[in-house]
């Protein structure tokens, strides 16, 4: 079953250890902070036991505050072990408790060790504290610059966008890549019940008042366990096994689906393969599917034509029409295929390249000489483009990696080992280049 990372428990056998320390969704920093809290508490327990009359809650200053800080944390931490997304509440609550324990630990050490007490009154002690504070601030500033500043620098080639919008928009609006899909739904007056990827669901609810979504980020607070379970059953669907997903979508009377292309490509493909759902919109990041038997887009899906729908640009119309035609008719017309090639020549997209290959081969795995020639021509053209432009890694390098993967599989299957070996070397070069750029710009993305 597909996993929603934020909904996992704090300790998970794979999700906990497979992420780097300073990466999105990593719980390792919180676990480190929790370990520090436990170490301080144990240390205080051992050292304070030798100080006569000491009690954490009998100190002269703010005894009630100390009790409330500790009590609040003891309430929050067990909940975090159940749902890691509540780290955002528990982590700030740990700061005052850590400060309290550190202060008390220092007082206990001063009471036990005379020399330490004398040193704390010396002028050099203030210099040591100031130096330590500056060191900590420097480390924090370095990590903050790496994780919060570098990804938003102008002309970032790992950006999701092909343009450089104002900095405030990039920092505050992570959903800029969904804006075109939202405009499509608004202009075409979409209403009723829909299925949407979790982050997309909240975004759609905020802007579209006449829709109801299968589930959103309110999760257990707003939806039943059965609804929660069925949502993940649908998104666990892979090509060739869509029967259960179709049954659930029929039961809940879902009329359309708005799916994140990065994580939901398999379920979208599985639904389109049945012929009961068709693509009415597809861009680099979002695909919109609609039922063929009812709803706002039924006529368009059944006729496999999108002429009556509003699109922001010709590129999206061509890609959407080609996807619908391929899965509903089993082919893409010659004229439409030429438009598709021209479109991807202007804006490279690995998924569109896969679409073109499927259209040229009739959705079979065997590549003809004309398909191979086309892919080699595109590889040559992509290698000459500037991948350091905004979005270059995700458009140009990912497209190059996809074409290489298609050719490698074909040549390996055909037994052309020498050519397959050369392609493999080029794949490794592209992978290493993408990884180095992701590391440089502190971006996490799924590498080919």
| Mean pLDDT for the stretch of residues 82-90 | 79
| Mean pLDDT for the stretch of residues 311-335 | 95
pLDDT over threshold 90, residue 116: no
pLDDT over threshold 80, residue 442: no
Compute, in degrees rounded to 10, the torsion defined by CA atoms 326, 330, 331, 332: -20
Structure tokens at 59: 């100190």
Q: φ and ψ at 261, to 5 degrees?
A: -65, -30
Closest Cα to residue 285, out of 187, 390, 180, 419? 180
Q: How confident is the model at residue 265 (pLDDT cuts 50, 70, 90)?
A: very high
pLDDT, tens only, 289-312: 999 988 789 999 999 999 999 999
Q: How confident is the model at residue 363 (pLDDT cuts 50, 70, 90)?
A: low
- If one compares 359 and 123, the residue with the highest pLDDT of the two is 359
Q: How confident is the model at residue 128 (pLDDT cuts 50, 70, 90)?
A: confident
Q: Percentage of the chain surpassing pLDDT 90?
A: 45
Predicted confidence at residue 4, as pLDDT, reads 47
Measured CA distances, 51 to 45, 46, 109, 110, 111 (Å):
10, 10, 9, 10, 7
Contact 385, 396 (CB under 8 A): yes
- If one compares 433 and 38, the residue with the highest pLDDT of the two is 433
* Average pLDDT over all residues of the chain: 84
pLDDT, tens only, 203-253: 898 888 889 988 887 776 677 888 888 998 999 999 989 999 999 999 999
pLDDT, tens only, 380-417: 999 999 999 888 999 999 999 999 999 999 999 989 99
Q: 99-103, 193-197, 393-397: which range is least confident on average? A: 99-103
| SS3 labels along the chain | CCCCHHHCCCCCCCCCCCCCCCCCCCCHHHHHHHHHHHHHHHHHHHHHCCCCCCCCCCCCCCHHHHHHHHHHHHHHHHHHHHCHHHHHHHHHHHHHHHHHHHHHHHHHHHHHCHHHHHHHCCHHHHHHHHHHHHHHHHHHHHHHHHHHHHHHCCCCCCCCCCCCCCHHHHHHCCCHHHHHHHHHHHHCCCCEEEEECHHHHHHHHHHCCCEEECCCCCHHHCCCHHHHHHHHHHHCCCCCCCHHHHHHHHHCCCCEEEEEHHHHHHHHHHHHHCCCEEEEEECCCEEEEEECCCCCCHHHHHHCCCCCCCCCCHHHHHHHHHHHHHHHHCCCCHHHHHHHHHHHHHCCCHHHHHHHHHHHHCCCCCCCHHHHHHHHHHHHHHHCCCCCCCCHHHHHHHHHHHHHHHHHHHHHHHCCHHHHHHHHHHHHHHHHHHHHHHHHCCCCCCCC
Predicted confidence at residue 398, as pLDDT, reads 95
Q: How confident is the model at residue 184 (pLDDT cuts 50, 70, 90)?
A: very high
| Mean pLDDT for the stretch of residues 354-361 | 94
In terms of phi and psi (left: phi > 0; alpha: psi -120 to 50; beta: otherwise), the region of 304 is: left
- Strands across the sheet containing 211-213: 211-213, 192-196, 256-260, 286-291, 277-282
| Mean pLDDT for the stretch of residues 4-14 | 63
- If one compares 280 and 160, the residue with the highest pLDDT of the two is 280
Predicted confidence at residue 267, as pLDDT, reads 95
Predicted confidence at residue 172, as pLDDT, reads 58
Q: How confident is the model at residue 129 (pLDDT cuts 50, 70, 90)?
A: confident
- If one compares 410 and 96, the residue with the highest pLDDT of the two is 410
Q: Percentage of the chain surpassing pLDDT 70?
A: 86
Closest Cα to residue 99, out of 48, 47, 40? 40
Q: How far apart are CA 39 and CA 304, in angstroms?
A: 64
pLDDT, tens only, 10-69: 776 665 565 666 665 677 788 888 888 888 777 777 766 665 555 555 554 444 566 677
Task: Give the sign of the dihedral formed by CA 152, CA 157, CA 161, CA 166.
Answer: positive
Structure tokens at 99: 């400060």
Predicted confidence at residue 176, as pLDDT, reads 75
């Amino acid at each position: 079953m597909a996993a929603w990372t934020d909904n996992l428990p704090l300790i998970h056998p794979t999700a906990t250890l497979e992420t780097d320390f300073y990466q999105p969704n990593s719980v390792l920093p919180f676990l480190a902070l929790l370990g520090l809290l436990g170490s301080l508490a144990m240390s205080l327990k051992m050292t304070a036991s030798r100080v006569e009359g000491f009690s954490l809650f009998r100190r002269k200053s703010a005894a009630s505050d100390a009790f409330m800080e500790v009590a609040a944390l003891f309430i929050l931490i067990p909940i975090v072990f159940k749902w890691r997304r509540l780290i955002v509440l528990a982590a700030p609550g740990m700061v005052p408790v850590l400060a309290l324990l550190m202060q008390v630990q220092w007082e206990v050490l001063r009471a036990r060790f005379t020399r330490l007490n004398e040193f704390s009154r010396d002028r050099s002690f203030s210099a040591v504290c100031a130096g330590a504070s500056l060191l900590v601030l420097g480390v924090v500033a370095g990590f903050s610059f790496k994780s919060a500043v570098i990804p938003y620098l102008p002309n970032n080639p790992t950006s999701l966008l092909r343009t450089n919008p104002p900095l405030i928009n990039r920092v505050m609006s992570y959903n800029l890549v969904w804006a075109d899909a939202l405009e499509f739904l608004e202009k075409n007056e979409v209403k009723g019940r829909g299925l949407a990827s979790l982050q997309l669901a909240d975004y759609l609810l905020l802007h579209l008042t006449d829709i109801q979504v299968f589930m959103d980020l309110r999760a257990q607070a707003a939806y039943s366990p059965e609804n929660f379970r069925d949502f993940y059953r649908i998104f666990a669907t892979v090509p060739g096994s869509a029967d259960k997903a179709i049954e659930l979508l029929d039961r809940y009377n879902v009329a359309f689906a708005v799916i994140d292309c990065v994580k939901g490509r398999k379920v979208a493909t599985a639904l389109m393969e049945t012929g009961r759902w068709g693509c009415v919109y597809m861009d680099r990041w979002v695909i919109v599917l609609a039922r063929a038997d009812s709803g706002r887009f039924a006529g368009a899906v059944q006729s496999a034509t999108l002429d009556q729908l509003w699109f922001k640009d010709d590129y999206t119309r061509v890609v959407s029409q080609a996807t619908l035609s391929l899965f509903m008719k089993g082919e893409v017309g010659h004229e439409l295929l030429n438009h598709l090639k021209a479109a991807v020549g202007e804006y490279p997209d690995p998924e569109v390249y896969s679409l073109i290959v499927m259209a040229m081969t009739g959705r079979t795995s065997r590549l003809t000489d004309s398909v191979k020639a086309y892919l080699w021509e595109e590889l040559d053209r992509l290698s000459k483009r500037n991948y350091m432009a905004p979005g270059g890694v995700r458009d140009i390098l990912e497209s190059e990696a996809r074409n290489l993967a298609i050719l490698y599989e074909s040549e390996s299957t055909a037994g052309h080992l020498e050519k397959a070996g050369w392609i493999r070397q080029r794949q490794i070069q592209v992978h290493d280049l993408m990884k180095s750029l992701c590391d440089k710009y502190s971006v996490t993305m799924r590498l080919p």
